[in-house]
Structure 1
Amino acid sequence: MSDASVKGAAHALRAQFFVMGVLFATWGVHVPTVKSHYSLGEQGVALAMLISGAGALTALAHAGRIVGSHGPRVIAAVMGTASCAAIAALIATPYYAALAVAMLVFGACGSLFDVSLSSEASEIERITGKPLMSGFHGMFSLGGMAGAGLGSVAPALGLTAQGHLLVATGAGAAAALLASRFMLPVPDKGAAAEHHPLSLPRGPLLLLGVLAAMGLIAEGAIYDWSVLFMKQDRGSEPSIAALAYASFSGAMAAGRFGGDWVRARMAPRRLLRASGVLAAGGMLLVLAVDSPWVSLAGYALVGLGLSNVVPVLFSAASQLPDVAPAHGIAAVAGVGYAGMMAGPPLIGLIAEHSSLTVGLLVVVVFAVFMAASAKRALGGA
């Protein structure tokens, strides 16, 4: 395989991660819109998130086989486009059942999109012999910042909520299809040879999965609840509230773009421990100080803290002996998504019976858990 084709695949993969970031940001920005459109309480929003998580977990049970059989390029094209269609349909009808279907599709297709991209990233790391995973995931965060930024300025541009959804997802689908043409064409033959569904991982994979769950719960809480927290608990205008997601994603992007340099110089366990401490401190700042601008600074610290958690864990999972990269990533992602499935709805239930401020303390708890568990899970990594 020529250097030019590998470089082209790397650029295409960066574009795909950017698209995925835009999609997640577009959902996050429109959580208040969905809540208002369907006249929901926090519990109703939490149920929609739970449905999305269920779809993700179901798809991840077969992700290694699917991605291994068809290759990341095909799966990224199909699942990226389907994910865009699901987000476009969020408020297309007045019926909650339609929202449930859209969230189910988004969860299932988004998780397969994610595994296909991370599997491709692992293969490019293997071919080049360089740590690149953090930089690839940095494009996800950059896409999140761009998606949230577009959501913030959409009203000033004269776009309705549905108009914004159509513009963001239409551009995302076109970019995903175009970029997929330049990804690596060869399926993961090792993964393709295994046709059993994903089972509960054990040993090192389980430990990595638990930490992934902690990170994804914290990350998902910001994606799903930060904008609503800014509007309800900080009294921010919609344009300011949308900046919570942008601040988080921008800092996460910065952390990830510098993450490969850091990973080359710092042991994974030390990096994970520092990440947990920083994320916990940032979230405490958000919850303790009643100021929208201080909250934005706190979200940036959370983003910086969480920026390299998933890249470090996915990279470790893809390098375990006797485990195909797609299966290692899918196993860790499966446990992580199981946590993510329960995390944001749990926050919603707590908020329904107490407050969103109390619910978001979950982020602090799990960030501390990640820091405390880093040595045990990555001591030899």
Structure 2
Amino acid sequence: MSAPSVTGAAFALRTQFFVMGLLFATWGVHVPTVKAHYGLGEQGVALAMLISGVGALTALAHAGRIVGRHGPRVIAAVMGTASCAAIAVLIATPYYAGLAVAMLVFGACGSLFDVSLSSEASEIERLTGKPLMSGFHGMFSLGGMAGAGFGSLVPAMGLSAQGHLLLATGASAAAVLMASRFMLPVPDKAAAAEHHPLSLPRGPLLLLGVLAAMGLIAEGAIYDWSVLFMKQDRASDASTAALAYASFSGAMAAGRFGGDWVRARMQPRRLMRASGVLAAGGMALVLAVNSPWVSLLGYALVGLGLSNVVPVLFSAASQLPGVAPAHGIAAVAGVGYAGMMAGPPLIGLIAQHSSLTMGLLVVVVFAIFMALAAKRALRAA
């Protein structure tokens, strides 16, 4: 096969981001399924999410070196396929230990998949000289919308939960393997030369990481808890509940597809401040108004508000002087995932002792914090 072109690699990367979003959505719409299958309370579900976060954080400690040594193309193919396999077996056994292993694998492999794709996106931005990161991440959101939309149709189709998991992950694995053939086979030599695991970042990387943590806590809360919130607190049926994820992802996709245009015209810190305010307002609307349809509108506002947080931060991290792109992204992602790892258990613990509504109030608090911290964290951007 001839060497991949930048145009072909960009198309392949969009496909990979779409698949990653679809996988997260498939997990998200089946949180109630997992809860019922294993007979769990909110705290038990939160523990499974914590296990996934531990896997992600552990893998991110070595992500820069691994992606740098083997290149994004190889890592995307291997870790993307492994992520598909982990989601496929979510309810394949009656034992919680089986769920724990699946979530650990999904967290570890999914994080390496994520870093490999963002590293490739940074390289394509460099080669083209254009801001493209938001558009690439928009495909993640589009995949989330598609995955949640398909999940909402499953009850009407008469497809079992396990059948849905196998169908979605089988198609995703095939797409991952096909698309990876067209990615750029360029290892990051600077990152590959580093043999020590990632340590706690300092200076600008730490500030970017803290901001990423705020955004990812809010984003992860919607991925993991929105469908369950709609079913339990808004008495929605399964199809309407799944639309919460679709509404959030659809708005996030729209925001990201327009994000590169916005990023070219708006300072990152101003964009981040506006993002936090919009996300906080949308989540407050979800929690304050007892209507499923108003909740869907609120989730859309949250998605729009959070749409460009990760693209802006990852792009900034990949462009810091003296820092290899894969290491910069992995460092910021590591702090971000640490925050996201703590978020779901915290929400679950609050929900277990109070209500899921009170638990999701955390999203409002962190979104406001993100807005307030934007000026200092992105001072040089």
TM-score normalized with structure 1 length: 0.99
Distance 2:374 2:185 in 1: 36
Q: Is 2:298 aligned against 1:314?
A: no
Checking the alignment, whether the CA contact within 8 Å between 2:273 and 2:370 is kept in structure 1 is yes
Look up the match of 2:140.
140
SS of residue matched to 2:184: coil
Aligned to 2:27: 27
Q: Following TM superposition, by how much is the alpha carbon of 1:3 offset from its aligned partner in structure 2, in angstroms?
A: 11
2:128 aligned partner: 128
The aligned counterpart of 2:285 is 285
Q: Which residue of 1 aligns with 2:165?
A: 165
1:264 and 2:281 aligned = no
- Equivalent pairs, count: 380
Amino acid at match of 1:296: L
Cα deviation digits, residues 180-214 of structure 1 (max 9, x gap): 00000111111111111000000000000000000
Q: Deviations 1:310-363 (Å, cap 9, x if unpaired)?
A: 000000000000000000000000000000100011100000000000000110
Q: Structure 1: which 5+ runs fail to align?
A: none
Read off the aligned partner of 1:109 and give its amino acid letter. C
Q: 1:152: which partner in 2?
A: 152
Please report how far the alpha carbon of residue 234 of structure 1 lies from its aligned counterpart in structure 2 after TM superposition: 0.2
Letter in 2 for 1:378: L
* Alignment partners' CA distance in 2, 1:175 and 1:380: 39
Distance 2:161 2:70 in 1: 36
Structure 1 CA distance for aligned equivalents of residues 4 and 78 of structure 2: 25
* Aligned mates of 1:329, 1:380 — CA distance in 2: 17
Distance 1:108 1:3 in 2: 30
The 1:334/1:353 distance shift into structure 2, 3 A limit, reads same
Name 2:208's counterpart in structure 1.
Answer: 208
AA in 2 matched with 1:265: R
3-state SS of the aligned residue for 1:253?
helix
Whole-angstrom CA distance in 2 between matches of 1:377 and 1:113: 26
Q: CA deviation at 1:4?
A: 7.4
Q: Supply the AA of the counterpart residue of 1:203.
A: G
**CA distance in structure 1 between the partners assigned to 2:212 and 2:184 by the alignment:** 26
In the alignment, structure 1 residue 93 sits paired with structure 2 residue 99: no
SS of equivalent residue, structure 2 residue 159: coil
* Counterparts of 1:39 and 1:222, CA distance in 2: 22
Alignment root-mean-square deviation, CA: 1.0
The answer for the alignment partner of 1:348 in structure 2 is 348
Aligned to 2:106: 106
- Contact residue 4 and residue 182 of structure 2 kept, 8 A: no
| 2:335 counterpart letter in structure 1 | V
- Secondary structure of the 1:265 match is coil
Equivalent residue letter for 1:86: A
Q: Write the deviation string for residues 216-253 of structure 1: whole angstroms up to 9, x where unpaired.
A: 00000000000000000000000000000000000000
- Aligned partner of 2:176 in structure 1 is 176
Q: In structure 2, how many angstroms separate the alpha carbons of the residues matched to 1:262 and 1:3? A: 33
In structure 2, the partner of 1:18 is 18
Structure 1 outlier segments of 4+, above 4 Å: none
Specify the code of the residue in structure 2 equivalent to 1:379: R
Which TM-score applies when normalising by structure 2? 0.99
